[in-house]
Amino acid sequence: MTPLDKTKPAANQRPKLPQELNILSVLIGVAIIFEILGWVIKGQSFLINPQRLTIMILQVSVIGIIAVGVTQVIITGGIDLSSGSVVAMTAMIAMSFAQVGTYARAVYPELTDLPVIVPVAVGLGVGLFAGMINGFLIAKTGIPPFIATLGMMVTARGIAKWYTEGQPVSFPSDDFAAIGDGVWPVVIFLGVALIFHFGLKYTRYGKFTYAIGANPQAARVSGINVQSHIIKVYAVAGLLAGLAGLVTAARAETAQAGMGMMYELDAIAAAVIGGTSLAGGRGRIFGTVIGTIILGLMMSGFTFLRVDAYYQEIVKGGIIVAAVVTDVYRQKKRAKAS
């Protein structure tokens, strides 16, 4: 029943509020809670400490880069569980092309001191390739995204371990290490977020992504090549996971097969807290950025208050579920109102 065309609901006569207002208020709320607790428990400010805030954003930049890719995957109605493992795989492989010649036990002793573009291209290529395989499996064989990317999650982690038989890869060139230096990870994260925020809004790629998530059959009948677009979306997600792998390795100046463990779940959580609907068709990068910052704020805040890591995880789990419950509730209210 849609009485809309008869009487305009009052809600629509008010000026429109940005959709992210809910999530933004959650962010502010979390910040204020930590600020108050800071004064009460430790007698000092939580927020007025630029160093702490910088470290906080640095900590979640890698998650943020992955979350951007995952957000667009979730908008198509899919999921990507492989990103954390792809981070490890690209970190290992890229690092093996970034080692300095003075290091005696390089993976490829004859391929040392290469220009930085080589490990970067290799890393992005590996990520892209992994994403394309995900997309191809999903689009062409029709298996659920959950299964396809679960397979990639296990396989990529295996490759990361197999590559050097479990040994870490270290001693990168200064140029490569510079990628992770200072605030570069934050710049890369925000740059990627900006590109995709506008990309999803103003390009055909973005419009098709939303359309496929909203109704794949209708998208097909509207002339969209759904299969090839799905492959593109997963490939982009893989590419961004690869980028995250580069940043992680560069920052740590070493690569290990255990890197990026559970990053995929943090990334999915950031997207979902930011208002992306797992049902597809709805979500924004801006929300994901805020979601990422909320995760960082909580991590940093608990550390500041010296709360045990165990409690941190328990609370984090609760917050993720609460975010989705709120979203579902809001959707229901909307549906009832119309």
Partner 1 sequence: MLSSKTSKAVKAYKENLTETVLEITGIRKEFPGVVALDDVQFRLQKGTVHALMGENGAGKSTLMKIIAGIYTPDKGTIRLRGDEIRFLSPLDALEHGIAMIHQELALMPFMTVAENIWIRREPQNALGIIDHKKMAAQTQELFDRLRILIDPLTEVRFLTVAQRQMVEIAKAVSYESDVLIMDEPTSALTETEVEHLFEIIRELKAHGIGIVYITHKMNELFEIADEFSVFRDGTYVGTHASSEVSRDDIIRMMVGREVTDMFPKIEANIGAPIMEVEGLTLDGVFKDISFQLREGEIIGMAGLVGSGRSNVAETLFGVTPATSGKIKISDQEIVIDSPGKAMAQGMAFLTEDRKETGCFLPLSVRENMQIAALKESYSRYGIVDQQSINKLCVEMETALRIKTPDLDERIENLSGGNQQKALIARWLLTKPRILILDEPTRGIDVGAKAEIHRLVSQLASEGVAIIMISSELPEVLGMSDRIMVMHEGHMTGILDRKDANQVKIMELAAR
Interface residues with partner 1 (CB under 8 A) are 1-12, 16, 202-205, 207-208, 210-211, 214-215, 217-225, 277, 279, 281-282, 336-338
In the complex, the smallest distance separating the C-beta of residue 11 from partner 1, rounded to whole angstroms, is 6
Instruction: Report the candidate in 290, 274, 292 with the shortest Cα–Cα distance to residue 282.
Output: 274
Cβ proximity to partner 1: between 264 and 327 the closer is 327
In the complex, the smallest distance separating the C-beta of residue 71 from partner 1, rounded to whole angstroms, is 15
**Calpha distance 146→294 (Å, rounded):** 26
In the complex, the smallest distance separating the C-beta of residue 173 from partner 1, rounded to whole angstroms, is 35
In the complex, the smallest distance separating the C-beta of residue 329 from partner 1, rounded to whole angstroms, is 15
Cβ proximity to partner 1: between 178 and 218 the closer is 218
Cβ proximity to partner 1: between 89 and 239 the closer is 239
Kind and range of the H or E run holding 255: strand 254-255
**Calpha distance 13→84 (Å, rounded):** 45
In the complex, the smallest distance separating the C-beta of residue 193 from partner 1, rounded to whole angstroms, is 18
In the complex, the smallest distance separating the C-beta of residue 224 from partner 1, rounded to whole angstroms, is 7
Cβ proximity to partner 1: between 245 and 281 the closer is 281
Cβ proximity to partner 1: between 76 and 90 the closer is 76
The Cβ of residue 95 has, within 10 Å, a number of other Cβ atoms equal to 31
In the complex, the smallest distance separating the C-beta of residue 76 from partner 1, rounded to whole angstroms, is 12
**Calpha distance 134→147 (Å, rounded):** 10
Cβ proximity to partner 1: between 142 and 223 the closer is 223
Cβ proximity to partner 1: between 13 and 51 the closer is 13
Transcribe 166-180 into DSSP letters: T--EE-B-HHHHGGG
Cβ proximity to partner 1: between 42 and 204 the closer is 204
Collapse the DSSP code of 277 into the 3-class scheme (helix H, G, I; strand E, B; otherwise coil) and give the result.
Answer: coil
Residue 84 in contact with residue 154, Cβ under 8 Å? Answer: no
Which residues contact residue 267 at a Cβ distance below 8 angstroms, ignoring those fewer than 6 apart?
63, 66, 67, 69, 70, 83
Beta bridge partners of residue 172, listed in sequence order: 99
**Calpha distance 208→192 (Å, rounded):** 20
Cβ proximity to partner 1: between 9 and 191 the closer is 9
- Output the six-digit token pair for 334: 């909307």
In the complex, the smallest distance separating the C-beta of residue 276 from partner 1, rounded to whole angstroms, is 12
In the complex, the smallest distance separating the C-beta of residue 275 from partner 1, rounded to whole angstroms, is 12
CA dihedral 123, 158, 99, 193 (to 10 degrees): 30
The Cβ of residue 210 has, within 10 Å, a number of other Cβ atoms equal to 18
Transcribe 7-60 into DSSP letters: S--GGGTSPPPPTTHHHHHHHHHHHHHHHHHIIIIISS-SSS-HHHHHHHHHHH
